Homo-oligomer: A and B are copies of this chain.
Amino acid sequence: SVNPDLASERQTASFSVEKLTAWLDGGAEHTRLRRAVVEAIERDPVFSIENQYFQSQNERYEAAVRKAVHLQKKMQEMGWTDDGPELKYIYRALSGDLAFLLHRIFIRSISVLGSDKQIAKWIPLATQYQLIGSYAQTELGHVFDIATQEFVLNTPNISAMKWWPGDMGRSATHTVVFAQLYINGKCYGVHPFIVQIRSLQDHSLCPGITAGDIGPKMNFEHTDNGYLMLQNVRVPRENMLSKFCEVQPDGTYVRRGSQKINYFTMTTVRISLISDEVVIPLMKACTIAIRYSVVRRQSKLKPGEQEAKILDYQTQQEKLLPQLAAAYAFYFISDYLQELFNRGYREIQRKNFDMLPELHAFSSGFKAMVTQHSTSAVEICLRACGGHGYSLLSGLPSLYTKIVASCLYEGENTILLLQTARFLIKCFMAASTGQPVPPSVTYLAAVTPEKCPAKNKLDFLSPDIYTEAYQHMAARLISSTAAKLQDLIQSGVKKHDAWNQCTVQLAQAAKAHCHYITVKNFAETVEKLETQPGIQKIMKHLCDLFALHGIFSNAGVFLHDGYVSGAQMDMVTASYLDLLAVIRKDAVPLVDAFDFTDKTLNSALGSYDGQVYQRLYEWAQKSPTNKQMSPAYERYLKPLLHKTLSKL
């Protein structure tokens, strides 16, 4: 039975949850397919994550391998294909708790960079798990030895040891290593090689290989992140992936075509991780925290009444509802980026590489902005559940410890923001001298009013008003930082020093740019919803909330040049706080629309029926800490406690 406090929230929804879910999925037929895939996965006991919170690192690794091997059979059985729409639903159902994700990148890199012959040799073995690959970008140098027709690989010292590649610690038999290629003392830049690291016979390490598991981590216990050192490891000439370049037997280096496509592959990884590794966990955290916040009652809002649902407190709304708005905002920006990249990929296939700098800047900046914002958001959700959020059984700690990694992998966020900033500064310089710039940054040359025209708090519910404020703010931060950079250089500071002295502000400017594009895209998404007025209305509220929350919490950058006045900031605050109370009413239906099953959420606080306390109690019974009398009692406590028997 559903907790009555939670049930009552669903009776007053201002829109159809089913319609919103279908729209988010891109149509009801997608929802049906997704649900069928999720159901098939959840019915299969091999994929159960029920005991996950009680497992050791060893147990989680073993379960992840078992699931990966089983999934391959399951996919054949169900007729699901590797390039079909099912894959992302499978991943969603399994929460990514699966081995061999780096193995997939191993396969992808061979497919993209290998010759036809190499593809024919390696890909069938890899897809059948008849070898397990990993992927390592290192600082190594590879020397070609003409006499033996081999590349010789060496890790120069322990600080150059490769650390972290997934599937490398215990599973992998092979890895793609990217490293500098040297022939006769001349360096030809970074190239990819297939290196065998473990015996196919008995899984022992190959000669010259030092490898193992890096040990316990904050999360990713299911993955055997590994280390790798190479000492005089010899790799046959034909193991250099050679679609775009080759070393001939006599040591002649031949290049064919462009290598730029390499970077594009990494760029797409960044884009796909936003949806799979960031937006979905954020949606889950919002679902758990919001459902719990209408079940949990504490203190009285009005004297004499029963204790209030904690979501009825303004402070609780102010914690959770902006995170809910951000989940929607990032879901939409993720779609937008995916479309942009599909378009870019089509251009690249036509050998038009013009979009590459813009795509690279987008993937870097948004990866950084979305992962950082979402990590904070998940932490807020966890803390908003008080003590119970801190129990692993809430599901929130593991969402947090996993999402925080997204700030670190596939490019550290600050480095990525500075890459975006470099692109923005370049575009700003070009735009100010009238040169053409990519469409996403034409705003840098646009003329906006010097003062925000809003006259009352309702004006700030106009997307034109707030989008323009964001645009003005982003353009100002970019232009003022560009000016500081130029001033420093003109005053004699060397270019690289000047750049370093501006990096705090450059990173801020890059974030502001991404924030502006996210607000603009949200507003445009809402506008296109005119055929579904019920959904459009609530999405408009969320869009307003996302935008005003951003102004409220970054007030300084809007007030700085007087574009927004102190009095206008009070209007923003008033509208922002009003919106909380409006969206509060639909908070539960808005998370229900994400359509997570209880099994996927795996949360004692967040399930659909809201039976929080019953579930916490039942799940705690399953903990190994409740399975036996602790040896600590026999060893340390019993002798002491027995002394008391005669005294009490």
Residue from the list B408, B500, B621 in contact with A301, Cβ < 8 A: B500
Interface segment, one of A129-137, A436-444, A453-461, A512-520: A129-137
Residue from the list B218, B407, B418, B642 in contact with A200, Cβ < 8 A: B642
Interface string of A625-638 (1 = CB under 8 A from B): 11001111101111
Asked, given contacts A392-B217, A562-B566, A617-B158, whether A129 binds B500 with beta carbons under 8 Å apart, the answer is: no
Interface segment, one of A79-87, A176-184, A208-216, A267-275: A208-216
Asked, given contacts A203-B633, A314-B500, A383-B404, whether A644 binds B390 with beta carbons under 8 Å apart, the answer is: no
Interface string of A246-266 (1 = CB under 8 A from B): 000000000000000000000
Q: Report the Cα distance A215→B388, complex, angstroms.
A: 11
Q: Using Cβ atoms and an 8 Å threshold, which residues of chain B touch A413? A: 383
Interface string of A603-644 (1 = CB under 8 A from B): 000000000111011011111111001111101111011111
With both beta carbons as reference points, the residue of chain B lying nearest to A507 in the complex is identified as B315
Q: Report the Cα distance A316→B409, complex, angstroms.
A: 17
Tell me if A192 is interfacial: C-beta within 8 Å of chain B.
no
Q: Using Cβ atoms and an 8 Å threshold, which residues of chain B touch A69? A: 636-637, 640
Residue from the list B227, B631, B638 in contact with A62, Cβ < 8 A: B631
Interface segment, one of A12-20, A24-32, A553-561: A553-561
Tell me if A504 is interfacial: C-beta within 8 Å of chain B.
yes
User: Does more than half of chain A's interface fall in helix, strand or loop, or is it mixed?
Assistant: helix
Do B387 and A407 have beta carbons less than 8 Å apart? no
Min distance, Cβ A73 to any Cβ of chain B, angstroms: 11
Min distance, Cβ A318 to any Cβ of chain B, angstroms: 5
Min distance, Cβ A353 to any Cβ of chain B, angstroms: 25
Q: Using Cβ atoms and an 8 Å threshold, which residues of chain B touch A644? A: 125, 130-131, 200
Q: Report the Cα distance A213→B577, complex, angstroms.
A: 40
Do B638 and A203 have beta carbons less than 8 Å apart? yes
Do B504 and A315 have beta carbons less than 8 Å apart? yes
Q: Using Cβ atoms and an 8 Å threshold, which residues of chain B touch A227? A: 617, 620
Residue from the list B62, B387, B633 in contact with A408, Cβ < 8 A: B387
In the complex this chain forms, how many copies of it are found? 2
Do B408 and A161 have beta carbons less than 8 Å apart? no
Do A625 and B215 have beta carbons less than 8 Å apart? yes
Residue from the list B57, B397, B412, B643 in contact with A386, Cβ < 8 A: B412
Do A390 and B404 have beta carbons less than 8 Å apart? yes
Do A173 and B641 have beta carbons less than 8 Å apart? yes
Tell me if A344 is interfacial: C-beta within 8 Å of chain B.
no
Q: Using Cβ atoms and an 8 Å threshold, which residues of chain B touch A56? A: 56, 624
Interface segment, one of A164-172, A326-334, A426-434: A164-172
Tell me if A231 is interfacial: C-beta within 8 Å of chain B.
no
Tell me the residues in window 492-547 of chain A with beta carbons closer than 8 Å to chain B beta carbons.
494, 496-497, 500-505, 507
Min distance, Cβ A8 to any Cβ of chain B, angstroms: 17
Tell me if A128 is interfacial: C-beta within 8 Å of chain B.
yes
Tell me if A242 is interfacial: C-beta within 8 Å of chain B.
no
Min distance, Cβ A568 to any Cβ of chain B, angstroms: 11
* Total A residues in contact with B, Cβ cutoff 8 Å: 122
Do A314 and B58 have beta carbons less than 8 Å apart? no
Do A390 and B414 have beta carbons less than 8 Å apart? no
Tell me the residues in window 372-417 of chain A with beta carbons closer than 8 Å to chain B beta carbons.
379, 382-383, 386-393, 397, 401, 404-405, 407-409, 412-414
Q: Using Cβ atoms and an 8 Å threshold, which residues of chain B touch A418? A: 315
Residue from the list B391, B405, B554 in contact with A215, Cβ < 8 A: B391
Do B203 and A616 have beta carbons less than 8 Å apart? no
With both beta carbons as reference points, the residue of chain B lying nearest to A624 in the complex is identified as B58
Interface string of A541-585 (1 = CB under 8 A from B): 000000000000011111111100010010001000100000000
Tell me if A224 is interfacial: C-beta within 8 Å of chain B.
yes
4 nearest A-B pairs in the assembled complex, by CB-CB distance: A555-B556, A215-B623, A213-B625, A218-B397
A163-B388, A214-B623, A397-B401 are known contacts; what are 10 more A-B pairs with Cβ within 8 Å? A57-B625, A58-B630, A130-B640, A130-B643, A131-B644, A159-B612, A217-B397, A302-B494, A314-B500, A559-B560
List, sorted by A's number, 22 A–B pairs whose CB atoms are closer than 8 Å.
Answer: A54-B215, A57-B623, A65-B630, A69-B640, A130-B643, A159-B612, A200-B642, A213-B625, A214-B393, A214-B616, A216-B391, A217-B391, A227-B617, A314-B500, A315-B414, A316-B414, A379-B404, A383-B404, A386-B408, A390-B408, A556-B559, A556-B569
| A contact residues vs B (CB 8 Å cutoff) | 53-54, 56-58, 61-62, 65-66, 69, 125, 128-132, 158-159, 161, 163-164, 169-171, 173, 200-201, 203, 212-218, 224, 227, 301-303, 312-316, 318-319, 379, 382-383, 386-393, 397, 401, 404-405, 407-409, 412-414, 418, 494, 496-497, 500-505, 507, 554-562, 566, 569, 573, 577, 612-614, 616-617, 619-626, 629-633, 635-638, 640-645, 647-648
